[in-house]
Amino acid sequence: MKRRAKTILAAALAVAATSFAAFVALPANAETATVTVANSWSSGYQAQVTVSNESSTALSTWRVELVMPAGTTVGQAWNTTMSVSGSTYTFTPAGWNATIPGNSAASFGFIANGTGRPTSCLVNGKACTGTVTPTSSPTRSPHVPPSPSVSPSVSPSASVSPSSPTGSTPVAINGQLRVCGNFLCNQYGKPIQLRGMSTHGLQWFADCYNGTSLDALAKDWNADLFRIAMYVQEGGYETNPGGFTSQVNNLVDLAEARGMYAMIDFHILNPGDPAFNLERAKTFFAQVSARNAAKKNVIYEIANEPNGVSWAQIKNYAEQVIPVIRANDPDAVVIVGTRGWSSLGVSEGSTSAEIISNPVNASNIMYTFHFYAASHKDNYRAEVERAAASLPLFVTEFGTVTYTGDGAVDTASSNAWLDLLDRLKIGYANWTFSDAGEGSGALKPGTCSGSTYAGTGVLTESGNLMRSRIRTADNFPTA
């Protein structure tokens, strides 16, 4: 479709978390279930459930049932498959975490809308008949600090809201992001829109990305987001995995230091079948998620532009890669590419209905949409409008020009697109913050060989348009 081409909130916010635990000994495997409220705010809370196998025999599967009181629902869950019947929420394995070896544990998390704690608990069909205070911290991601334990009868009034922002940057205000409903939400559970720029291929334009250029994005453009496009082929990752991984991590750090979110883009394009790079993806995301797990500013984009393959094939790829990330970074937002060069299938004659009827079996995820304003117009905009009613979307890449990444800027179509995304609160990253000699390049050719990136003098027509849109005030609600 174009061109040449974290912690859990408690750790990030240092809030006083509350926890409650329910234990039950069962025949044969002696499972126990522990529910820990990791963080709470005025309208809900985040919890982690740990199922422990305290016997020496492997447990082949598990099931946790929680009954929520009136006025409290579970909005999303991760590392599990969730179903609901009335006020009862049933959590079963995500697939990869079904078996629990002897003396080991599996865990999953959920977001509750409302302050009520579960009123009852079942583990593998047996009632949780008693409560105790844990004598040790439950199993959790290594970067999550322990939480003090209290009785499950703790009053909802004990909930603690996230502390007020201590800075004015996007990350300082919004903290750890999560998906809530069809939106990207901040640490306060409020829908937000991130706006920013994408790199071009790191193998071609590495000189464009340094402290000075990112200062310009953060302070002159007021960008919220920096997308790091790491090509896998075309002279990219496959030629030097260690070198490109280090380059990506360095750019994550530069973005973090300036208070911007960093989107790590596994930039597949040719070939379009993500399965071709499945093992590379597992290796890469295992490394970057382990290295960046404690950061609040990282978003993972696992497949840039799948093409020539079915949605079922893309879904299968996603359901193999996402658990690799979750093993290290259970709370990060993950973005999944869609069919037809991430057009929700439109560019290959399909629609978003195939995703809506068969979504990825994972939580805290979003779906990708890409467009190029001079090529993709009303029918593509209509599909985004329809899809946004059912799916959380993120425009991880778009251009103001044709799908080739070149040609004249279509100002009218670009503004129509940006107005739509603003109205729907869909985040975006523009292609590209580079001095590529093509219409989509935001910087004039030769800019990256110098030291000046701020101001309008170094910008192309596309760069000036995007800077003027991104510089407008953000709307980041905190209450």
What the block records as the tokens of 239 is: 């030629």
CA dihedral for 477, 162, 396, 345, sign (positive or negative): negative
The burial of 349, by beta-carbon neighbours within 10 Å (0-12 exposed, 13-18 middle, 19 or more buried), is given as exposed
User: What's the CA gap between 244 and 58, in Å, rounded?
Assistant: 39
Pairing relationship of beta strands 120-123 and 126-127 according to DSSP bridges:
antiparallel
Q: Please, which residues bridge with residue 135 across strands?
A: none
Q: Report the alpha-carbon distance of residue 364 to residue 335 in Å, rounded.
A: 9
Specify the 3-state DSSP secondary structure of 399: strand
CB 164 within 8 A of CB 194: no
CB 397 within 8 A of CB 342: yes
- Token pair of 72 as six digits: 């409290």
Sheet with 88-92, edge to edge strand ranges? 81-85, 88-92, 64-67, 120-123, 126-127
Q: Rounded to 5 degrees, what angle do the CA atoms 72, 73, 77 make? A: 135
Could you tell me the CA-to-CA distances from 90 to 62, 94, 126 in Å, in that order? 11, 12, 13
Cis amide bond preceding 271, omega within 30 = yes
CA 279/CA 321 separation, integer angstroms: 9
Beta-sheet strands, E only, within 124-202: 126-127, 178-180, 183-185, 191-192, 195-198
Query: In angstroms, rounded to a whole number, what is the distance separating the alpha carbons of residues 386 and 366?
Result: 15
Tokens of 238: 């496959």
Torsion region of 478: left, alpha or beta (phi above 0 gives left; psi -120 to 50 gives alpha) = alpha
Contact yes or no for 89/66 (Cβ under 8 A)? yes
Strand pairing class (88-92; 19-22)? unpaired
* Residues marked as catalytic: 305, 397
Sorted by sequence, the CB contacts under 8 Å of residue 215 that are 6+ apart come out as 258, 453, 454
Sign of the dihedral defined by the CA atoms of residues 209, 212, 213, 214, in that order: positive
Q: Is the dihedral of CA 113, 119, 122, 128 positive or negative?
A: positive
